Structure 1
Amino acid sequence: MALGDRKLFTYIYDFGDNWQHRVKVEKILPPDPDLRSPICLAGRNACPPEDVGGGPGYIEFLEAIADPSHEDHEQLLEWCGGSFDPNAFDLAAVNERLAEFEF
């Protein structure tokens, strides 16, 4: 995709839940002939669990897992694998996934 002068764009993931991601391009480097897949240099926050229900569902999910007295607390923790840190970002895991997209 040629960005031209555009440095900010919106990526929509899962049209049903309408997750909108604002992507800011900070720098475009010359092509590296040794690079065979895209790489991520930095990021913030964890991806919400699949099928959590879009923005409103994600907010409800975070409230429930943060409150041990919430009626859905245990069920939602089990559903998401036992724990969830919304502030986590695993750069190595992101780049491992991106390595699947060779060009």
Structure 2
Amino acid sequence: MFRVRRRFPAVKNDCTMARLIYQLRIVLDGVTPPVWRRVLVPGGFTLDRVHRVVQFAMGWGDRHLHVFDADGVQYGVPDPDGLLEVRDELDVRLDAVAQLGSRLRYTYDFGDWWEHEIVVEDVMPAELDIRYPMCVGGERACPPDDVGGPEGYRDFLAAYGDPTHPEHVAMREWLAKDFDPVAFDAARATALLRRMT
């Protein structure tokens, strides 16, 4: 009879053996006042999972291409046509390309060109009673997808928030939902992140 053998890792009380959590601060470039998030992510996450953390925490719709840049090396989804040369993000863990103080670049939507700076603010042992990833802070709503990058977002805000603006009605119809540029809810972002696991 065939038996499945299970291997269980040895339990050690040493903090160096604990699963490490990376505290990341994600800041969207080109937007004032700043749109930012602070998230706690396992260092063992591959970059494709970190991509999903950025998407859910920021509030993007994950409808466009993206790429990470770590020390001049780009990681993303390999292009079958070879037009974009990137290393496969599925094969690379966060803790392999970043440590305390590291700065990564994350670009989302090569048309609108949203750039983010990701800073590793802290690295700490995981707490046993906490589920990761989680969002622990942030400010301001993420711009809508396809709004036209930082410049398009400035134009959108001017029109959306001013009932006398000639583009006000068109912008409201285009978005088709209410939008509050100052709103952000870390608990809601964490609830979205929990869908990943």
Report the TM-score when normalising by structure 1: 0.82
Q: Normalized per residue, which structure has more strand?
A: 2
Change (3 A) 1:49 1:87: same
2:188 and 2:171 map into 1 onto residues whose CA distance is 23
Q: How big is each residue's C-alpha offset from its partner over 1:18-72, in whole Å with a ceiling of 9 and x where there is no partner?
A: 1011223322221345555411110111111111111111111011112211111
Contact 1:40/1:91 (<8 A) preserved: yes
- Structure number with greater CO (CA < 8 Å, separation at least 6) is 1
Amino acid at match of 2:147: V
Report the TM-score when normalising by structure 2: 0.46
Q: Does 1:78 align with 2:173?
A: yes
1:15 aligns with one of 82, 107, 110: 110
1:6 aligns with one of 101, 106, 112: 101
Structure of larger gyration radius:
2
3-state DSSP of counterpart to 1:24: strand
Aligned to 1:43: 138
Change (3 A) 1:77 1:86: same
3-state DSSP of counterpart to 1:17: coil
Give the % identical residues.
42
Moved over 4 A (4+): 33-36
- The alignment's C-alpha RMSD in Å is 1.9
Residue pairs, 1:21-40, within 5 angstroms: 21-33=116-128, 35-40=130-135
Contact 1:46/1:89 (<8 A) preserved: yes
3-state DSSP of counterpart to 2:171: helix
3-state DSSP of counterpart to 1:29: strand
1:64 aligns with one of 155, 159, 169: 159
Contact 1:64/1:76 (<8 A) preserved: yes
